[in-house]
Amino acid sequence: MLTTATQTSTTEIPPTTAAAAPRAQRSAFAFVGERLWLDFVNTDGSTHDPDTVADFDALVAWLETAVAFDAERAQMMRRRAIQQPSGATAALVDARRVRAALRTLAERGGTSPQVRLEVLTEINRVLGRSAGTRRLEMRLDGTFARSFVPVGDAFAGLMIPIVESAADALILGELARVRRCADPRCARVFYDNTKNAARRWCDMATCGNRAKAARHRARHKTP
């Protein structure tokens, strides 16, 4: 179904990257994974970073920033969370369950068929309990995007864009190029889209520069 972007209850399913978010809005979160599902995995923090979706409002803010749905949908979910706090709590628990499964897929899915099968079950669990319809919408700027219109439980559809991004990785055989940052202190993962598959760092401005500085210190260390 092709519609214009006048509907108010759709969850927009973005391309597999999160590049469309405005720069100022994206600054509070790190989007270095090159794929939506990997960026979501990276919200779990690491040795030096906190969980960036520690509560339901933060989860909604991340999904909005990642262009998983628009501002109107985000406001609707915040209102629903006030009306149904238990539903919001359950949705956050479910999001963390999905994230943990996708973390395993990112780190071990490329070499373990068993992990891929287990995550396939998790993806289908989310898709199977999220009633709604999928359609193609035309945005106001003339571009197109897939969307998901939830029916019934509004909380149930929150993870649809995330698991569909992961499903794309499985379908397209992308796991072989999913990497973990070479900095042992960093838990971020990313899709290596370089021509020669040589990317090592989640972000040259942070982990890459730290490694560069460490090498410089080692070369100039006094004997």
| 141/130 Cα distance (integer angstroms) | 29
Which pTM does this prediction carry? 0.79
Using one digit for the tens of pLDDT, what is the confidence trace for 32-61? 999 999 999 999 986 567 899 999 999 999
Using one digit for the tens of pLDDT, what is the confidence trace for 68-100? 888 888 999 999 999 999 999 999 999 999 999
CA neighbor of 10 nearest in space, from 93, 84, 82, 77: 77
| 149/135 Cα distance (integer angstroms) | 8
Give the CATH number, domain containing residue 168: 1.10.3300.10
Return the number of other C-beta atoms located less than 10 Å from residue 82's C-beta.
Answer: 8
State which residues form the domain around 129. Answer: 2-219
Asked whether the CA dihedral 23, 65, 39, 53 is positive or negative, the reply is: positive
Question: In the chain, how many domains are there?
Answer: 1
What residues of the chain score a pLDDT lower than 70?
A: 1-27, 46-48, 131, 149-152, 208-223
Query: What's the confidence (pLDDT) of residue 134?
Result: 75
